[in-house]
Amino acid sequence: MSEETLFDLSRPSRAGVSLPEPDVPVRPLEELLPGWALRKTPADLPELSEVDVVRHFTRLSTLNYHVDKGIYPLGSCTMKYNPKINEAASRNPRFAAIHPHAPDSVVQGALRLLYELAGYLAEISGMARVTLQPAAGAHGELAGMLIVRACHQARGEPRKRVIIPDSAHGTNPASVAIAGYEPVVLASGKDGLLDLEALETQVDEQTAAMMATNPNTLGLFERNIGRAAEILHSRGALLYMDGANLNALLGRARPGDLGVDVLHFNLHKTFSTPHGGGGPGAGPVGVKKELEPFLPVPVLEKKAGSYGWSYDRPLSIGRLHGQMGNFGVLVRAYVYIRMHGAEGLKKVTEMAVLNANYIRKRLEGTYQLPYPGDCLHECVFSGNLQKARGVRTLDIAKRLLDYGFHAPTIYFPLIVQEALMVEPTETESMASLDAFCEAMLAIDREARENPELAAGAPHTTPVGRLNEGKAARELNVCCPWPGLGRADETG
């Protein structure tokens, strides 16, 4: 695990390729490039054979933690195993090699896929129409809020505020603010659910919408969502739903049937695409019939058996992205839906909920459960009991690395002290869940018997406990190797 850098592995005169002498006239670079483009001294690069490079990166890859290696229980993020058939389909050259602005006539297959995918999402969610343009979940949130604003402006009452429950996703307030609204926090009730009495007092003629997450970030189903929709609609406001947790509802509940007017999907969570590190993602938005005129342009239409883009949408919020969206992610989602079918998608939800409740029951009592009772796809514990013994939630997360597990989401949602947010997803077996639970139980025993062990973790990783705050506050990107990346010396 003490892998050296490429510069440490470098030896003079090693090479990874052996090229024949050129059989065409050779001209010096000075004749081909302007002087400013030429280095004054050669780049100080490592000298390595092919086998050096391959073995180095192979060894590094085994240190990476990823969904193909083990359970990735990030609550709210839905990091689940991704079927490889989806990858194969997305890499088919007839999809991967097409140009996003190719004439409609030569990409009818791709357009059909997009049209059918939008139809599947509309059926799954109970919405009237879906746009596939937004490139990620937060982008979908922004699109949804712009649609809300356009709707109120068309009614002649732009309004000023959007209500956000404190159990909603963390990106919601930013999306609201960028769309030009003032975010207003709605405190949850003691049961962790929407407080209808508080909502009644907050909704007025300046309320544009409420932006709720259902299931919320506590993993609880908002059973009063229908009544909340009635309160909002009675005063001219709309109900937006953050659909990042849709894998808890597939085949069981449709947001549109619950009174939701606008919904964004996280295809890279619910419908399978590897995500993390900023991408890839896709955040389609579904709307009810009244809001269709405000969807981004262009809109994909089917006429006389062929597919094409329609730009004649005078009330549209405009273009947000290329009209084919993040196409590779959309292909993966299409294959995932078609492979599962209606019954398979329903099974996805059933297994996601079963797995989360299995973990809840195994760890309940050892780890504090601030909101007891059945959860849906994720459960939220508190590390307060362990903190009282000198082991914080961060320590638990770091110690899990020594047991070979990626940590769950920690310190979120903010309404739970020392939060540990666990989402096992539907793809994990009981053996996998048991192994994770055993590690969590072992860490609790350590907190009681030898708290210093967890407090100083990790102990078996390539590097020990890092000062993450210092790294964020004092970012240093200077190159440590002499002669590399120094423009003043190398030109």
In a domain, 481, yes or no: no
Cα 313 to Cα 447: distance, rounded to the nearest angstrom: 61
Out of 308, 324, 339, a domain closes at: 339
Structure confidence by residue, pLDDT tens digits, 91-115: 999 999 999 899 999 999 999 999 9
In a domain, 107, yes or no: yes
Q: Are 397 and 410 in contact (CB under 8 A)?
A: yes
Q: Are residues 162 and 286 in the same domain?
A: yes
Q: Are 17 and 47 in contact (CB under 8 A)?
A: no
Q: Are 48 and 84 in contact (CB under 8 A)?
A: no
pLDDT band at 61 (very low <50, low <70, confident <90, very high): confident
Q: Are residues 245 and 364 in the same domain?
A: no
Structure confidence by residue, pLDDT tens digits, 26-60: 999 999 999 999 999 988 899 999 999 999 999 98
Classify each residue of 312-322 as buried b or exposed e, where b means 16 or more C-beta atoms within 10 Å of its C-beta: ebeebbeebbe
Q: pTM for the complete prediction?
A: 0.88
- The number of CA neighbours under 13 Å toward the Cβ of 60 is 9
Helix or strand (DSSP H, E) at 211: strand 207-213
The confidence score (pLDDT) of residue 490 equals 37
- Neighbour tally for 256: CB within 10 Å: 20
pLDDT band at 466 (very low <50, low <70, confident <90, very high): confident
Q: Are residues 273 and 258 in the same domain?
A: yes
The CATH number linked to 291 is 3.40.640.10
Q: Are residues 374 and 398 in the same domain?
A: yes
Across the range 344-367, mean pLDDT stands at 97
Q: Are residues 44 and 127 in the same domain?
A: no
Phi, psi for residue 58 in degrees, rounded to 5: -65, -45
Cα 216 to Cα 261: distance, rounded to the nearest angstrom: 17
In a domain, 70, yes or no: no
In a domain, 1, yes or no: no
Across the range 410-431, mean pLDDT stands at 95
Number of domains in the chain: 3
Burial class (CB in 10 A: 0-12, 13-18, 19+), 381: buried
- 85-94, 390-399, 474-483: least confident range: 474-483
Q: Are residues 331 and 442 in the same domain?
A: no
Q: Are residues 287 and 353 in the same domain?
A: no
Cα 262 to Cα 239: distance, rounded to the nearest angstrom: 7
In a domain, 72, yes or no: no
Evaluate if residue 21 carries a pLDDT over 70: yes
The confidence score (pLDDT) of residue 27 equals 93
Q: Are 405 and 436 in contact (CB under 8 A)?
A: yes
Evaluate if residue 275 carries a pLDDT over 80: no
For residue 100, say if its preceding peptide bond is cis, omega within 30 degrees of 0. no
The CATH number linked to 444 is 3.90.1150.10
Q: Provide the residue range defining the domain that includes 46.
A: 6-63
Cα 143 to Cα 158: distance, rounded to the nearest angstrom: 16
Cα 246 to Cα 240: distance, rounded to the nearest angstrom: 14
In a domain, 254, yes or no: yes
Q: Are residues 321 and 198 in the same domain?
A: yes
Across the range 466-490, mean pLDDT stands at 62
Out of 339, 363, 382, a domain closes at: 339
Q: Are residues 170 and 292 in the same domain?
A: yes
Evaluate if residue 491 carries a pLDDT over 50: no
Q: Are residues 109 and 233 in the same domain?
A: yes
In a domain, 456, yes or no: yes
Out of 339, 363, 389, a domain closes at: 339
Q: Are 59 and 3 in contact (CB under 8 A)?
A: yes
Structure confidence by residue, pLDDT tens digits, 395-416: 999 999 999 999 999 999 999 9
Q: Are residues 194 and 235 in the same domain?
A: yes
The confidence score (pLDDT) of residue 296 equals 98
pLDDT band at 446 (very low <50, low <70, confident <90, very high): very high
In a domain, 75, yes or no: no
Q: Are residues 167 and 270 in the same domain?
A: yes
